[in-house]
Amino acid sequence: MNKIIKYVLLDIVKSRIIIAYTVFLLLLSIGLFNLGGSPDKGILSLLNLVLLTVPLISIVFATTHFYNSYEFIELLVAQPINRTKIFMSEYLGVAFSLSAAFIVGVGIPVIIFSPGLTGLYLVLTGVFITFIFVAMAFLASVITRDKAKGIGIALLLWFYFALIYDGIVLFILYAFGDYPLEYATLAMTALNPIDLGRIIVLLNLDVSALMGYTGALYKSIFGSVWGIATAFGLLMLWALIPVLSSRRIFSKRDL
Amino acid sequence: MHKSYGKLQVLRDVNVEFGTGKVVSIIGPNGAGKTTMSKCILGMVLPDSGDIQLNGESVLKKYAYRSQIGYMPQIGKYPVNMKIRQVIEMIRDIRKKEKNVDEELIGLYALEEIYDKRMGALSGGTKQKVSAALAFLFDPPILILDEPTAGLDPIAAEILKAKILKEKKRGKLILITSHIMSEIEEVADEVLCLVDGSIKFYESIVELKAHTQEDRLSRAVAKIMNEGYHP
Protein backbone atom coordinates (compact mmCIF):
# COMPACT_ATOMS: atom_id res chain seq x y z
CA MET A 1 0.00 0.00 0.00
CA ASN A 2 2.82 2.42 0.85
CA LYS A 3 4.15 2.14 -2.67
CA ILE A 4 0.83 3.10 -4.23
CA ILE A 5 0.47 6.03 -1.79
CA LYS A 6 3.91 7.12 -2.91
CA TYR A 7 2.80 7.29 -6.54
CA VAL A 8 -0.44 9.06 -5.61
CA LEU A 9 1.55 11.66 -3.65
CA LEU A 10 4.03 12.11 -6.50
CA ASP A 11 1.15 12.75 -8.86
CA ILE A 12 -0.44 15.31 -6.50
CA VAL A 13 2.78 17.20 -5.84
CA LYS A 14 3.41 17.39 -9.57
CA SER A 15 0.12 19.19 -10.15
CA ARG A 16 1.29 22.12 -7.98
CA ILE A 17 -2.27 22.90 -6.84
CA ILE A 18 -1.34 21.67 -3.41
CA ILE A 19 1.54 24.13 -3.24
CA ALA A 20 -0.75 26.99 -4.26
CA TYR A 21 -3.18 25.88 -1.53
CA THR A 22 -0.40 25.93 1.08
CA VAL A 23 0.69 29.42 0.05
CA PHE A 24 -2.94 30.61 0.10
CA LEU A 25 -3.44 29.32 3.66
CA LEU A 26 -0.12 30.82 4.79
CA LEU A 27 -0.96 34.26 3.42
CA LEU A 28 -4.48 34.07 4.86
CA SER A 29 -3.31 33.13 8.36
CA ILE A 30 -0.42 35.60 8.52
CA GLY A 31 -2.66 38.34 7.17
CA LEU A 32 -5.43 37.68 9.69
CA PHE A 33 -3.06 37.51 12.66
CA ASN A 34 -1.56 40.85 11.67
CA LEU A 35 -4.94 42.49 11.07
CA GLY A 36 -6.77 41.36 14.17
CA GLY A 37 -4.77 43.00 16.92
CA SER A 38 -5.19 40.32 19.60
CA PRO A 39 -4.21 36.74 18.75
CA ASP A 40 -7.63 35.53 19.97
CA LYS A 41 -9.37 37.68 17.39
CA GLY A 42 -6.96 36.36 14.78
CA ILE A 43 -7.86 32.76 15.67
CA LEU A 44 -11.56 33.61 15.55
CA SER A 45 -11.48 35.13 12.07
CA LEU A 46 -9.14 32.40 10.90
CA LEU A 47 -11.58 29.79 12.23
CA ASN A 48 -14.47 31.25 10.26
CA LEU A 49 -12.51 31.43 7.03
CA VAL A 50 -10.94 28.00 7.49
CA LEU A 51 -14.32 26.39 8.09
CA LEU A 52 -15.60 27.86 4.84
CA THR A 53 -12.63 27.33 2.52
CA VAL A 54 -11.02 24.09 3.74
CA PRO A 55 -14.13 21.95 3.15
CA LEU A 56 -14.68 23.54 -0.26
CA ILE A 57 -11.13 23.11 -1.49
CA SER A 58 -10.82 19.61 -0.03
CA ILE A 59 -14.02 18.33 -1.59
CA VAL A 60 -13.46 19.90 -5.02
CA PHE A 61 -9.79 18.92 -5.20
CA ALA A 62 -10.46 15.35 -4.08
CA THR A 63 -13.33 14.83 -6.51
CA THR A 64 -11.40 16.12 -9.52
CA HIS A 65 -8.36 14.14 -8.41
CA PHE A 66 -10.39 10.93 -8.24
CA TYR A 67 -11.81 11.35 -11.74
CA ASN A 68 -8.42 12.34 -13.13
CA SER A 69 -6.85 9.24 -11.57
CA TYR A 70 -9.26 6.93 -13.34
CA GLU A 71 -6.59 5.81 -15.79
CA PHE A 72 -4.16 5.19 -12.98
CA ILE A 73 -6.77 3.13 -11.13
CA GLU A 74 -7.64 1.20 -14.28
CA LEU A 75 -3.98 0.42 -14.85
CA LEU A 76 -3.63 -0.91 -11.31
CA VAL A 77 -6.78 -3.04 -11.13
CA ALA A 78 -5.39 -5.35 -13.82
CA GLN A 79 -2.37 -5.94 -11.56
CA PRO A 80 -2.37 -8.35 -8.64
CA ILE A 81 -3.39 -5.67 -6.15
CA ASN A 82 -6.41 -5.64 -3.89
CA ARG A 83 -8.97 -3.10 -5.04
CA THR A 84 -9.62 -1.77 -1.55
CA LYS A 85 -5.89 -1.19 -1.23
CA ILE A 86 -5.90 0.94 -4.37
CA PHE A 87 -8.87 2.87 -3.05
CA MET A 88 -7.45 3.47 0.42
CA SER A 89 -4.12 4.53 -1.07
CA GLU A 90 -5.90 7.11 -3.18
CA TYR A 91 -7.85 8.33 -0.17
CA LEU A 92 -4.91 8.52 2.20
CA GLY A 93 -2.71 10.08 -0.48
CA VAL A 94 -5.15 12.92 -1.08
CA ALA A 95 -6.07 13.39 2.60
CA PHE A 96 -2.43 13.38 3.74
CA SER A 97 -1.30 15.90 1.15
CA LEU A 98 -4.19 18.30 1.87
CA SER A 99 -3.64 17.92 5.62
CA ALA A 100 0.07 18.58 5.20
CA ALA A 101 -0.76 21.74 3.29
CA PHE A 102 -3.10 22.78 6.11
CA ILE A 103 -0.60 22.02 8.87
CA VAL A 104 2.07 24.07 7.10
CA GLY A 105 -0.25 26.85 5.99
CA VAL A 106 -2.18 27.33 9.22
CA GLY A 107 -0.22 25.40 11.85
CA ILE A 108 3.03 27.34 11.49
CA PRO A 109 1.46 30.83 11.74
CA VAL A 110 -0.58 29.65 14.75
CA ILE A 111 2.57 28.46 16.52
CA ILE A 112 4.25 31.80 15.79
CA PHE A 113 1.40 34.18 16.62
CA SER A 114 -0.84 32.36 19.09
CA PRO A 115 0.64 29.18 20.53
CA GLY A 116 -1.65 27.31 22.92
CA LEU A 117 -4.47 24.84 23.30
CA THR A 118 -6.95 26.81 21.19
CA GLY A 119 -4.51 26.95 18.30
CA LEU A 120 -3.93 23.22 18.61
CA TYR A 121 -7.69 22.60 18.49
CA LEU A 122 -7.96 24.79 15.42
CA VAL A 123 -5.26 22.82 13.58
CA LEU A 124 -6.71 19.48 14.68
CA THR A 125 -10.19 20.51 13.59
CA GLY A 126 -8.84 21.59 10.21
CA VAL A 127 -7.12 18.24 9.71
CA PHE A 128 -10.26 16.33 10.67
CA ILE A 129 -12.40 18.50 8.39
CA THR A 130 -9.97 17.76 5.55
CA PHE A 131 -10.23 14.00 6.08
CA ILE A 132 -14.03 14.25 6.34
CA PHE A 133 -14.52 16.23 3.17
CA VAL A 134 -12.05 14.15 1.16
CA ALA A 135 -14.09 11.14 2.28
CA MET A 136 -17.31 12.78 1.13
CA ALA A 137 -15.67 13.67 -2.18
CA PHE A 138 -14.70 10.04 -2.71
CA LEU A 139 -18.23 8.96 -1.88
CA ALA A 140 -19.58 11.38 -4.47
CA SER A 141 -17.03 10.08 -7.00
CA VAL A 142 -17.87 6.40 -6.60
CA ILE A 143 -21.61 7.02 -6.75
CA THR A 144 -21.46 8.26 -10.33
CA ARG A 145 -19.16 7.71 -13.28
CA ASP A 146 -19.92 11.12 -14.74
CA LYS A 147 -17.31 13.68 -13.72
CA ALA A 148 -19.65 16.68 -13.98
CA LYS A 149 -22.29 14.92 -11.89
CA GLY A 150 -19.69 13.87 -9.32
CA ILE A 151 -18.41 17.42 -8.89
CA GLY A 152 -22.02 18.61 -8.72
CA ILE A 153 -22.81 16.22 -5.88
CA ALA A 154 -19.60 17.25 -4.11
CA LEU A 155 -20.47 20.95 -4.35
CA LEU A 156 -23.99 20.28 -3.11
CA LEU A 157 -22.58 18.45 -0.09
CA TRP A 158 -20.34 21.41 0.69
CA PHE A 159 -23.21 23.84 0.18
CA TYR A 160 -25.38 21.82 2.52
CA PHE A 161 -22.88 21.48 5.35
CA ALA A 162 -21.35 24.95 5.08
CA LEU A 163 -24.44 27.07 4.45
CA ILE A 164 -27.84 25.39 4.22
CA TYR A 165 -27.53 23.39 7.43
CA ASP A 166 -26.96 26.50 9.52
CA GLY A 167 -30.01 28.06 7.91
CA ILE A 168 -32.12 25.06 8.87
CA VAL A 169 -30.81 25.15 12.45
CA LEU A 170 -31.54 28.87 12.75
CA PHE A 171 -35.03 28.32 11.40
CA ILE A 172 -35.72 25.56 13.93
CA LEU A 173 -34.36 27.70 16.78
CA TYR A 174 -36.54 30.59 15.69
CA ALA A 175 -39.69 28.54 15.14
CA PHE A 176 -39.43 26.61 18.39
CA GLY A 177 -37.96 29.45 20.41
CA ASP A 178 -40.52 28.94 23.20
CA TYR A 179 -39.24 25.50 24.07
CA PRO A 180 -36.02 24.50 25.78
CA LEU A 181 -33.76 23.60 22.88
CA GLU A 182 -30.38 23.19 24.55
CA TYR A 183 -30.11 19.45 24.03
CA ALA A 184 -31.72 19.60 20.62
CA THR A 185 -29.15 22.12 19.40
CA LEU A 186 -26.45 19.92 20.84
CA ALA A 187 -27.73 16.98 18.79
CA MET A 188 -28.02 19.19 15.71
CA THR A 189 -24.40 20.28 16.13
CA ALA A 190 -23.25 16.68 16.10
CA LEU A 191 -24.98 16.21 12.74
CA ASN A 192 -22.71 18.69 11.00
CA PRO A 193 -18.93 18.27 11.17
CA ILE A 194 -18.30 21.93 10.37
CA ASP A 195 -20.45 23.10 13.30
CA LEU A 196 -18.83 20.55 15.54
CA GLY A 197 -15.40 21.87 14.62
CA ARG A 198 -16.54 25.45 15.15
CA ILE A 199 -17.88 24.70 18.65
CA ILE A 200 -14.71 22.88 19.67
CA VAL A 201 -12.59 25.93 18.91
CA LEU A 202 -15.09 28.62 19.97
CA LEU A 203 -15.57 27.23 23.46
CA ASN A 204 -11.89 27.59 24.11
CA LEU A 205 -12.04 31.28 23.32
CA ASP A 206 -13.33 34.01 25.66
CA VAL A 207 -16.18 34.86 23.29
CA SER A 208 -18.04 31.79 24.54
CA ALA A 209 -19.04 33.84 27.58
CA LEU A 210 -21.35 35.80 25.30
CA MET A 211 -23.32 32.80 24.13
CA GLY A 212 -26.04 32.63 26.80
CA TYR A 213 -27.57 29.48 28.29
CA THR A 214 -26.80 27.24 25.34
CA GLY A 215 -23.25 28.50 25.47
CA ALA A 216 -23.08 27.64 29.14
CA LEU A 217 -24.39 24.15 28.48
CA TYR A 218 -21.91 23.69 25.66
CA LYS A 219 -19.13 24.94 27.83
CA SER A 220 -20.03 22.48 30.57
CA ILE A 221 -19.96 19.66 28.03
CA PHE A 222 -17.16 20.62 25.65
CA GLY A 223 -15.07 22.22 28.35
CA SER A 224 -14.23 18.85 29.85
CA VAL A 225 -11.67 16.42 28.48
CA TRP A 226 -14.44 13.90 27.91
CA GLY A 227 -16.49 16.39 25.94
CA ILE A 228 -13.59 17.27 23.67
CA ALA A 229 -12.75 13.61 23.22
CA THR A 230 -16.38 12.87 22.31
CA ALA A 231 -16.40 15.74 19.83
CA PHE A 232 -13.24 14.49 18.12
CA GLY A 233 -14.66 10.97 18.22
CA LEU A 234 -17.73 12.23 16.39
CA LEU A 235 -15.50 13.92 13.80
CA MET A 236 -13.69 10.62 13.39
CA LEU A 237 -17.03 8.91 12.72
CA TRP A 238 -17.84 11.60 10.18
CA ALA A 239 -14.69 10.62 8.28
CA LEU A 240 -14.99 6.87 8.72
CA ILE A 241 -18.60 6.43 7.62
CA PRO A 242 -18.19 7.93 4.12
CA VAL A 243 -14.78 6.31 3.62
CA LEU A 244 -15.96 2.84 4.52
CA SER A 245 -19.17 3.08 2.53
CA SER A 246 -17.40 4.39 -0.56
CA ARG A 247 -14.73 1.72 -0.21
CA ARG A 248 -17.49 -0.87 -0.16
CA ILE A 249 -19.13 0.57 -3.27
CA PHE A 250 -15.78 0.81 -5.06
CA SER A 251 -14.83 -2.81 -4.40
CA LYS A 252 -18.12 -4.08 -5.79
CA ARG A 253 -18.25 -1.87 -8.83
CA ASP A 254 -17.53 -2.68 -12.47
CA LEU A 255 -14.62 -0.75 -13.90
CA MET B 1 -21.44 -17.12 -15.78
CA HIS B 2 -23.98 -14.38 -16.26
CA LYS B 3 -23.55 -10.65 -16.53
CA SER B 4 -25.92 -7.87 -17.34
CA TYR B 5 -25.58 -4.10 -17.35
CA GLY B 6 -28.99 -2.94 -16.26
CA LYS B 7 -31.47 -4.56 -18.64
CA LEU B 8 -28.84 -5.43 -21.20
CA GLN B 9 -27.69 -9.03 -20.87
CA VAL B 10 -24.07 -9.10 -21.92
CA LEU B 11 -23.11 -12.64 -21.01
CA ARG B 12 -25.68 -15.43 -20.86
CA ASP B 13 -24.75 -18.74 -19.39
CA VAL B 14 -21.22 -18.75 -20.74
CA ASN B 15 -19.58 -22.00 -19.72
CA VAL B 16 -16.15 -22.79 -21.08
CA GLU B 17 -12.83 -24.31 -20.13
CA PHE B 18 -9.43 -23.50 -21.63
CA GLY B 19 -6.34 -25.71 -21.57
CA THR B 20 -2.73 -24.58 -21.51
CA GLY B 21 -0.33 -24.35 -24.44
CA LYS B 22 -2.98 -23.02 -26.77
CA VAL B 23 -3.99 -19.84 -28.48
CA VAL B 24 -7.74 -19.40 -28.25
CA SER B 25 -9.32 -16.68 -30.29
CA ILE B 26 -12.56 -15.15 -29.09
CA ILE B 27 -14.58 -13.80 -31.99
CA GLY B 28 -18.04 -12.39 -32.41
CA PRO B 29 -19.83 -9.28 -33.59
CA ASN B 30 -19.35 -5.94 -31.85
CA GLY B 31 -21.03 -5.90 -28.47
CA ALA B 32 -21.15 -9.70 -28.24
CA GLY B 33 -19.50 -9.64 -24.81
CA LYS B 34 -15.90 -10.41 -25.73
CA THR B 35 -14.33 -7.60 -23.75
CA THR B 36 -16.75 -8.10 -20.86
CA MET B 37 -15.73 -11.73 -20.70
CA SER B 38 -12.03 -10.90 -20.51
CA LYS B 39 -12.70 -8.19 -17.92
CA CYS B 40 -14.66 -10.73 -15.85
CA ILE B 41 -11.68 -13.07 -15.87
CA LEU B 42 -9.52 -10.19 -14.64
CA GLY B 43 -11.99 -9.22 -11.94
CA MET B 44 -12.49 -5.74 -13.37
CA VAL B 45 -16.13 -6.57 -14.01
CA LEU B 46 -17.90 -8.76 -11.49
CA PRO B 47 -20.27 -11.40 -12.90
CA ASP B 48 -23.83 -11.43 -11.55
CA SER B 49 -23.81 -15.16 -11.05
CA GLY B 50 -21.52 -18.06 -11.81
CA ASP B 51 -17.90 -18.71 -11.06
CA ILE B 52 -14.49 -18.27 -12.64
CA GLN B 53 -11.84 -20.79 -11.73
CA LEU B 54 -8.13 -20.87 -12.30
CA ASN B 55 -6.47 -24.24 -11.69
CA GLY B 56 -9.63 -25.37 -9.90
CA GLU B 57 -9.81 -22.40 -7.54
CA SER B 58 -12.40 -19.68 -7.69
CA VAL B 59 -10.91 -16.26 -8.40
CA LEU B 60 -13.96 -14.19 -7.52
CA LYS B 61 -13.14 -11.45 -4.99
CA LYS B 62 -9.47 -12.45 -5.03
CA TYR B 63 -6.59 -10.54 -6.48
CA ALA B 64 -3.32 -12.44 -6.10
CA TYR B 65 -4.20 -14.67 -9.07
CA ARG B 66 -3.81 -11.66 -11.37
CA SER B 67 -0.05 -12.08 -11.16
CA GLN B 68 -0.58 -15.08 -13.44
CA ILE B 69 -2.41 -13.09 -16.08
CA GLY B 70 -1.00 -10.54 -18.47
CA TYR B 71 -3.63 -8.21 -19.85
CA MET B 72 -3.47 -6.01 -22.87
CA PRO B 73 -6.57 -3.82 -23.03
CA GLN B 74 -8.34 -2.84 -26.22
CA ILE B 75 -7.72 0.82 -25.54
CA GLY B 76 -4.89 1.32 -23.09
CA LYS B 77 -5.60 4.16 -20.71
CA TYR B 78 -2.63 5.57 -18.88
CA PRO B 79 -2.06 8.54 -16.59
CA VAL B 80 -1.34 11.29 -19.11
CA ASN B 81 1.30 12.99 -17.00
CA MET B 82 3.49 9.94 -16.59
CA LYS B 83 6.34 9.07 -18.91
CA ILE B 84 6.67 5.60 -20.42
CA ARG B 85 9.64 4.99 -18.17
CA GLN B 86 7.65 5.94 -15.08
CA VAL B 87 4.72 3.70 -15.96
CA ILE B 88 6.93 0.67 -16.57
CA GLU B 89 9.07 1.36 -13.51
CA MET B 90 6.01 1.88 -11.34
CA ILE B 91 4.49 -1.45 -12.30
CA ARG B 92 7.84 -3.16 -11.75
CA ASP B 93 8.22 -1.41 -8.42
CA ILE B 94 4.78 -2.53 -7.28
CA ARG B 95 5.46 -6.11 -8.36
CA LYS B 96 9.04 -6.21 -7.16
CA LYS B 97 8.72 -9.70 -5.71
CA GLU B 98 8.37 -11.26 -9.11
CA LYS B 99 11.74 -12.30 -10.42
CA ASN B 100 10.86 -13.46 -13.94
CA VAL B 101 10.94 -10.42 -16.13
CA ASP B 102 10.58 -10.58 -19.88
CA GLU B 103 11.71 -7.37 -21.53
CA GLU B 104 11.82 -8.73 -25.04
CA LEU B 105 8.98 -6.56 -26.35
CA ILE B 106 10.40 -3.39 -24.79
CA GLY B 107 13.55 -4.10 -26.78
CA LEU B 108 11.83 -5.14 -30.01
CA TYR B 109 9.57 -2.09 -29.99
CA ALA B 110 12.54 0.14 -29.11
CA LEU B 111 10.50 1.68 -26.29
CA GLU B 112 13.66 2.74 -24.49
CA GLU B 113 14.31 5.33 -27.16
CA ILE B 114 11.04 7.07 -26.36
CA TYR B 115 11.15 6.39 -22.61
CA ASP B 116 10.88 10.08 -21.76
CA LYS B 117 7.74 10.80 -23.76
CA ARG B 118 4.60 11.49 -21.79
CA MET B 119 1.82 8.91 -22.11
CA GLY B 120 -0.58 11.67 -23.08
CA ALA B 121 1.55 12.60 -26.08
CA LEU B 122 1.69 9.08 -27.52
CA SER B 123 -0.22 7.88 -30.57
CA GLY B 124 -2.73 5.07 -30.20
CA GLY B 125 -0.34 2.58 -31.76
CA THR B 126 2.53 3.47 -29.48
CA LYS B 127 0.24 3.11 -26.46
CA GLN B 128 -0.66 -0.33 -27.76
CA LYS B 129 3.05 -1.17 -27.85
CA VAL B 130 3.39 -0.12 -24.22
CA SER B 131 0.31 -2.20 -23.33
CA ALA B 132 1.78 -5.22 -25.08
CA ALA B 133 5.15 -4.80 -23.39
CA LEU B 134 3.43 -4.53 -19.99
CA ALA B 135 1.25 -7.60 -20.62
CA PHE B 136 4.27 -9.78 -21.34
CA LEU B 137 6.52 -8.12 -18.76
CA PHE B 138 6.17 -10.58 -15.90
CA ASP B 139 6.18 -13.72 -18.03
CA PRO B 140 2.66 -14.73 -16.94
CA PRO B 141 1.32 -18.22 -17.81
CA ILE B 142 -1.94 -16.71 -19.11
CA LEU B 143 -2.27 -13.81 -21.51
CA ILE B 144 -5.44 -11.97 -22.40
CA LEU B 145 -5.02 -9.75 -25.42
CA ASP B 146 -7.99 -7.62 -26.38
CA GLU B 147 -7.75 -6.73 -30.08
CA PRO B 148 -3.98 -6.63 -29.84
CA THR B 149 -3.10 -5.65 -33.37
CA ALA B 150 -5.76 -3.00 -33.91
CA GLY B 151 -3.82 0.23 -34.31
CA LEU B 152 -0.40 -1.41 -34.57
CA ASP B 153 1.61 -0.90 -37.73
CA PRO B 154 2.29 -4.07 -39.80
CA ILE B 155 5.83 -4.52 -38.48
CA ALA B 156 4.75 -4.13 -34.87
CA ALA B 157 1.85 -6.52 -35.48
CA GLU B 158 4.26 -9.11 -36.92
CA ILE B 159 6.51 -8.77 -33.91
CA LEU B 160 3.53 -9.33 -31.62
CA LYS B 161 2.32 -12.36 -33.57
CA ALA B 162 5.78 -13.92 -33.45
CA LYS B 163 5.87 -13.27 -29.72
CA ILE B 164 2.44 -14.88 -29.25
CA LEU B 165 3.55 -18.04 -31.11
CA LYS B 166 6.78 -18.16 -29.14
CA GLU B 167 4.98 -17.93 -25.82
CA LYS B 168 2.48 -20.56 -26.91
CA LYS B 169 5.33 -22.99 -27.49
CA ARG B 170 6.42 -22.37 -23.92
CA GLY B 171 3.08 -23.76 -22.76
CA LYS B 172 1.09 -20.62 -22.11
CA LEU B 173 -2.59 -20.07 -22.58
CA ILE B 174 -3.26 -17.06 -24.76
CA LEU B 175 -6.74 -15.61 -25.26
CA ILE B 176 -7.08 -13.17 -28.11
CA THR B 177 -10.15 -11.26 -29.13
CA SER B 178 -9.95 -10.13 -32.70
CA HIS B 179 -11.95 -9.38 -35.81
CA ILE B 180 -9.20 -10.08 -38.30
CA MET B 181 -9.74 -13.63 -39.51
CA SER B 182 -6.49 -13.95 -41.42
CA GLU B 183 -4.63 -13.05 -38.30
CA ILE B 184 -6.55 -15.55 -36.19
CA GLU B 185 -5.78 -18.21 -38.75
CA GLU B 186 -2.09 -17.44 -38.38
CA VAL B 187 -1.81 -17.63 -34.61
CA ALA B 188 -4.84 -19.35 -33.10
CA ASP B 189 -5.55 -23.03 -32.55
CA GLU B 190 -9.13 -22.75 -31.43
CA VAL B 191 -11.96 -20.34 -31.99
CA LEU B 192 -14.62 -19.40 -29.46
CA CYS B 193 -17.51 -17.53 -30.99
CA LEU B 194 -19.77 -15.35 -28.87
CA VAL B 195 -23.02 -13.99 -30.24
CA ASP B 196 -25.29 -11.88 -28.04
CA GLY B 197 -23.47 -13.04 -24.96
CA SER B 198 -23.78 -16.78 -25.44
CA ILE B 199 -21.40 -19.26 -27.01
CA LYS B 200 -22.18 -20.01 -30.63
CA PHE B 201 -19.38 -22.53 -31.05
CA TYR B 202 -16.00 -23.43 -29.60
CA GLU B 203 -13.88 -25.55 -31.88
CA SER B 204 -10.42 -25.97 -33.25
CA ILE B 205 -9.74 -24.28 -36.56
CA VAL B 206 -8.96 -27.60 -38.23
CA GLU B 207 -12.32 -29.10 -37.23
CA LEU B 208 -14.13 -25.96 -38.21
CA LYS B 209 -12.69 -26.02 -41.70
CA ALA B 210 -13.32 -29.74 -42.05
CA HIS B 211 -17.02 -29.74 -41.36
CA THR B 212 -17.81 -26.54 -43.25
CA GLN B 213 -15.69 -27.78 -46.15
CA GLU B 214 -14.06 -24.42 -46.52
CA ASP B 215 -10.35 -23.84 -46.69
CA ARG B 216 -10.39 -20.35 -45.29
CA LEU B 217 -11.43 -19.49 -41.77
CA SER B 218 -13.30 -16.34 -42.72
CA ARG B 219 -15.51 -18.29 -45.12
CA ALA B 220 -16.03 -21.07 -42.63
CA VAL B 221 -17.16 -18.62 -39.95
CA ALA B 222 -19.38 -16.76 -42.38
CA LYS B 223 -21.00 -20.01 -43.42
CA ILE B 224 -21.79 -20.96 -39.85
CA MET B 225 -23.14 -17.51 -39.08
CA ASN B 226 -25.41 -17.55 -42.10
CA GLU B 227 -26.67 -21.10 -41.89
CA GLY B 228 -26.79 -21.64 -38.19
CA TYR B 229 -24.65 -24.17 -36.43
CA HIS B 230 -25.12 -27.91 -36.84
CA PRO B 231 -22.29 -29.86 -35.32
Whether residue B45 lies within 8 A of chain A, CB to CB, comes out as yes
pTM to 2 decimal places: 0.89
- Which residue of A8, A9, A79, A252 is the best one to mutate when testing the B interface, meaning the one whose CB has the most B CBs within 10 A? A79
**Per-residue pLDDT reduced to its tens digit, B20-60:** 888 999 998 888 888 888 888 888 888 888 888 888 888 88
Option in A74, A79, A255 nearest B94 (CB):
A79
Cβ A7–B66 below 8 Å, yes or no? Answer: no
In a domain, B60, yes or no: no
Residues in chain B within 8 Å Cβ distance of A70? 77
pLDDT for position B101: 87
Is the Cα dihedral A210, A215, A217, A218 positive or negative? negative
pLDDT for position A62: 96
Cβ B79–A14 below 8 Å, yes or no? Answer: no
In a domain, B119, yes or no: yes
**Per-residue pLDDT reduced to its tens digit, A110-126:** 999 988 888 999 999 99
**Per-residue pLDDT reduced to its tens digit, B173-231:** 999 998 888 888 888 999 998 888 888 888 888 888 888 888 888 888 888 877 765 55
In a domain, B113, yes or no: yes
Residues in chain A within 8 Å Cβ distance of B95? 79-80
| pLDDT tops 60 at residue B144 | yes
pLDDT for position A141: 94
Neighbours of B228 (CB within 10 A): 7
Whether residue B90 lies within 8 A of chain A, CB to CB, comes out as yes
In a domain, B95, yes or no: yes
Distance from CA of B211 to the nearest CA of A (A): 39
Residues in chain B within 8 Å Cβ distance of A67? none
Cα B110 from Cα B123, distance rounded (Å): 15
Q: How many Cβ pairs within 8 Å bridge chains A and B?
A: 57
Whether residue B46 lies within 8 A of chain A, CB to CB, comes out as yes
In a domain, B58, yes or no: no
Concatenated DSSP letters of A73-101: HHHHHTSS--HHHHHHHHHHHHHHHHHHH
Cα B216 from Cα A112, distance rounded (Å): 82
Cβ B94–A83 below 8 Å, yes or no? Answer: no
pLDDT for position B134: 92
Cα A22 from Cα A16, distance rounded (Å): 10
Choice among A96-100, A154-158, B2-6, B202-206 with the minimum mean pLDDT: B2-6
**Helix and strand tally (H, E) in chain B?**
8, 10
Option in A14, A74, A80 nearest B67 (CB):
A80
Whether residue B75 lies within 8 A of chain A, CB to CB, comes out as no
Q: Please state the rounded mean pLDDT for residues A168-181.
A: 87
Calculate the average pLDDT of chain B: 87
Residues in chain B within 8 Å Cβ distance of A3? 93-94
Residue A86, class by beta-carbon neighbours within 10 Å (0-12 exposed, 13-18 middle, 19+ buried)? buried
pLDDT for position B231: 52
| pLDDT tops 80 at residue B7 | no
Q: Please state the rounded mean pLDDT for residues B158-176.
A: 92
Buried/exposed code over A132-146 (b: 16+ C-beta within 10 A; e: otherwise): bbbbbbbbbbbeeee
Name residues whose C-beta falls within 8 Å of residue A98's C-beta, 6 or more positions apart in sequence: A18, A21, A57, A58, A61, A62, A130, A134
In a domain, B46, yes or no: no
Length of chain B in terms of residues written: 231
In a domain, B41, yes or no: no
Tell me if A49 sits within 8 A of A28, measured CB to CB. Answer: yes
Residue A212 — very low, low, confident or very high, per pLDDT cuts 50/70/90? low
Number of structural domains, chain B?
A: 1
Residue B71, class by beta-carbon neighbours within 10 Å (0-12 exposed, 13-18 middle, 19+ buried)? buried
Domain range enclosing B122: 71-139
Whether residue B54 lies within 8 A of chain A, CB to CB, comes out as no
In a domain, B170, yes or no: no
Cβ A79–B78 below 8 Å, yes or no? Answer: no
Residues in chain B within 8 Å Cβ distance of A78? 42, 44, 66, 71, 73
Tell me if B183 sits within 8 A of B154, measured CB to CB. Answer: no
